Structures are given as C-alpha cells and as structure tokens.
A = this chain, B = another copy of it.
C-alpha cells in the first residue's frame, strides 16, 4: 500500500477511523474485497490504509456523488452492517473536501 496518487485538488476524502473488536473472522477477506470493489467505482481516486491500535483508511473520490454512491453500494452495505455488528468496537467516518496538498 503506497501513498495514493491523487490529482490536483479539489477532490474529496473519506476518513474512516476504527477500533477493532477481538473478532477477526472474515475480516481480512472482507477488507480486501471492499478495497477491490471501491477501486471499481466511478469517481474513485485512491486509497491509503494503516492499522496499529487504531485503523485509519482514507479513500479519495472525485466528488460527493461518488462517495454517496459508494456508501449505498449493495455489497458495501452488507460489509458496513457486518462491520458494525462484529468487527468494530467503534468507528467514525469523516467526509472532507481536500483543498490543498503537497509532498515529496
């Protein structure tokens, strides 16, 4: 997993911060499935993900509509429900407009 090669701003970010339960059954497979599915969505620009005590996944999108469509995508809905029930003790989703970026 590398730093996402996003275009010039503005674009949009979904910051998904989560604390796992101790229950891992099915989690890795679903996480991988969701990343691959996200990549196929209209407006997807990139994704970055890291986990130690907390997990942070940031996905980047062309516009709010793409984010809304992804949130409502059928398989993703199933994953969200299972995540809430089994895998996550707590999570927070933040939807943000990236206005500037820089780096090296």
Q: CB within 8 Å of B: which residues of A?
A: 1-4, 6, 9, 13, 15, 17-19, 48-56, 58, 84, 90-104
Cβ–Cβ contact A95 & B101, under 8 A: yes
Q: How many copies does the complex hold?
A: 2
Q: Which residues of B contact A51 (CB under 8 A)?
A: 50, 52
The verdict on A91 contacting B52 (CB below 8 Å), with A15-B15, A84-B104, A96-B96 known, is no
Q: Which of B3, B13, B52 contacts A19 (CB 8 A)?
A: B3
Cβ–Cβ contact B98 & A95, under 8 A: yes
**Whole-angstrom distance between the Cβ of A40 and the nearest chain B Cβ:** 22
Q: Which residues of B contact A94 (CB under 8 A)?
A: 6, 9, 13, 98, 100-101
